C-alpha cells in the first residue's frame, strides 16, 4: 500500500468515525417520538372577533386571552366529546333555533344549553334537570309542572321558553347578555352582589367563583368550535350526524292509565314514546285537572 493510499484510508476512517459519533449524539438529543409522525398538537390562533350575542371578548387583556385560550384548547382537543356535541347539535339545534327566535333570545344561547347539559336530558348531581338544567324551585317559579308524574323541565319546548324568560330578565337587570349568561350559572343575586361589591359592571372585570369564571368562556368556545368544526380538525360526513326522527303531535286532556298500552294503540312502544316525551316520568298520566298535554308520536 502506497503512502498516499494509506493516508486516504486514515482520512476516510476519521470521517466515518465523526459521522458515527454525530449520529449517536443526535439520537441522544432527540428522543424517540411516542406518537405517530403525523400527530401534532398545535397552539390555537384566537380570532379577534370572538363574542357572545355580539358582545366582544376583550382579548387584549392578558388574563382574558389566557382564559379564552384554555376553553378553546379543552374543547378542541377533547376530541371524542367535541365530535359527540357536533353530532347532537345537528339533532337538536333545528328545534332550539326557531324557539329562541320566537322568544326573543339571541341565537348564541343555544350554546349555553350545550354547556349546561351537552344536549342530554339528564339530571345533574345538584338536581338540575333537562336540557337547560333547571333546578326544581326555579322551574316551578317560572310555571313548569314538576312532580313525580310529570316534569316539564324535560319538555324542550316549554323549558326553552322558561330559559328565554329567565335570561331576558337577567339581561334587563344586569345590563348585558354576557352577565345574563353568567347569572344563569351563579344566579342574579350572586352576580349583582359581586358587581356592586367590586365596583364593576362587566363580566370580564369581575372576580367570580371558579365555575362562573369559566362559564361564559366555555359557551363562547363551544360556539366557535361547533360553528367551525373543520377549522378545528373535526372531520365527518353529513350522514355521520345525528338526526331527530319525525313525529306527529297528539293532544290529550284525559287520564292515561297505562302509557305502554297508549303507545301500542299508536303503533309504537313504551320506549320509543318515552324517548320523544321524557317529561312523562311514569307509566301513566294522572291529569286530575284535565290539562291539555301534547304528546309526540314517532312516525315511521
- The 10s digit of each residue's pLDDT in 254-293 is 999 999 999 999 999 999 999 999 999 999 999 999 999 9
Is residue 1 scored above 70 in pLDDT? no
Give the residue with greater pLDDT, 66 vs 28.
66
Above 80 in pLDDT, residue 17? no
For residue 209, which phi and psi values (nearest 5 degrees)? Answer: -55, 155
> What pLDDT score was predicted for residue 2?
58
Indicate the pTM of the whole model: 0.87
Residue 185 CA to residue 116 CA, distance in Å, equals 9
Domain ranges for the chain: 51-240, 247-298
In this predicted structure, the answer to whether residue 32 has a pLDDT above a threshold of 60 is: yes
Fold of 51-240: Lysozyme (1.10.530)
108 pLDDT tier (thresholds 50, 70, 90): very high
Pairing of strands 55-56, 247-252: unpaired
Task: Please state the rounded mean pLDDT for residues 233-244.
Answer: 96
Tens digit of each residue's pLDDT (9 = 90 or more) over 141-160? 999 999 999 999 999 999 99
Cα angle value 175/52/221 (rounded, 5°): 140
Grade residue 125 by pLDDT with cuts at 50, 70 and 90.
Answer: confident
Task: Read off the pLDDT band of 16 (50, 70, 90).
Answer: low
Distance CA 163, CA 139 (A): 9
Minimal CA–CA distance to 210: which of 67, 101, 86?
Answer: 67
Q: Please state, as a whole number, how many other Cβ atoms lie within 10 Å of the Cβ of residue 292.
A: 9
Between 70 and 40, name the one with better pLDDT.
70
Report d(CA 281, CA 13) in Å as an integer: 84
Residue 123 and residue 129 in contact, taking contact as beta carbons nearer than 8 Å: yes
Amino acid at each position: 500500500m502506497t503512502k498516499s493510499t494509506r493516508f486516504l484510508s486514515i482520512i476516510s476512517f476519521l470521517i466515518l468515525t465523526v459521522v458515527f459519533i454525530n449520529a449517536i449524539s443526535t439520537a441522544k438529543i432527540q428522543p424517540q417520538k411516542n406518537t405517530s409522525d403525523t400527530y401534532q398538537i398545535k397552539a390555537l390562533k384566537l380570532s379577534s372577533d370572538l363574542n357572545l350575542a355580539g358582545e366582544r371578548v376583550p382579548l387584549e387583556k392578558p388574563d382574558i386571552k389566557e382564559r379564552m385560550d384554555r376553553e378553546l384548547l379543552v374543547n378542541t382537543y377533547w376530541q371524542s366529546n367535541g365530535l359527540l356535541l357536533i353530532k347532537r347539535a345537528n339533532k337538536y339545534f333545528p328545534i332550539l333555533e326557531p324557539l329562541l327566535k320566537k322568544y326573543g333570545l339571541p341565537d348564541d344561547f343555544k350554546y349555553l344549553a350545550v354547556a349546561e347539559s351537552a344536549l342530554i336530558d339528564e339530571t345533574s348531581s345538584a338536581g338540575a334537570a333537562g336540557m337547560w338544567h333547571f333546578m326544581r324551585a326555579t322551574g316551578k317559579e317560572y310555571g313548569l309542572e314538576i312532580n313525580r308524574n310529570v316534569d316539564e323541565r324535560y319538555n324542550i319546548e316549554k323549558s326553552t321558553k322558561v330559559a328565554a324568560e329567565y335570561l331576558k330578565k337577567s339581561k334587563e337587570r344586569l345590563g348585558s347578555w354576557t352577565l345574563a349568561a353568567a347569572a344563569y350559572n351563579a344566579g342574579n343575586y350572586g352576580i349583582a352582589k359581586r358587581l356592586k361589591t367590586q365596583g364593576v359592571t362587566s363580566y370580564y372585570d369581575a372576580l367570580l367563583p371558579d365555575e362562573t369564571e369559566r362559564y361564559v368562556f366555555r359557551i363562547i368556545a363551544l360556539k366557535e368550535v361547533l360553528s367551525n368544526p373543520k377549522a378545528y380538525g373535526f372531520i365527518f360526513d353529513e350522514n355521520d350526524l345525528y338526526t331527530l326522527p319525525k313525529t306527529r303531535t297528539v293532544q290529550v286532556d284525559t287520564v292515561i292509565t297505562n302509557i305502554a298500552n297508549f303507545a301500542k294503540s299508536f303503533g309504537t312502544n313504551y320506549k320509543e314514546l318515552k324517548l320523544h316525551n321524557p317529561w312523562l316520568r311514569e307509566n301513566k298520566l294522572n291529569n286530575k285537572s284535565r290539562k291539555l298535554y301534547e304528546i309526540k308520536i314517532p312516525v315511521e
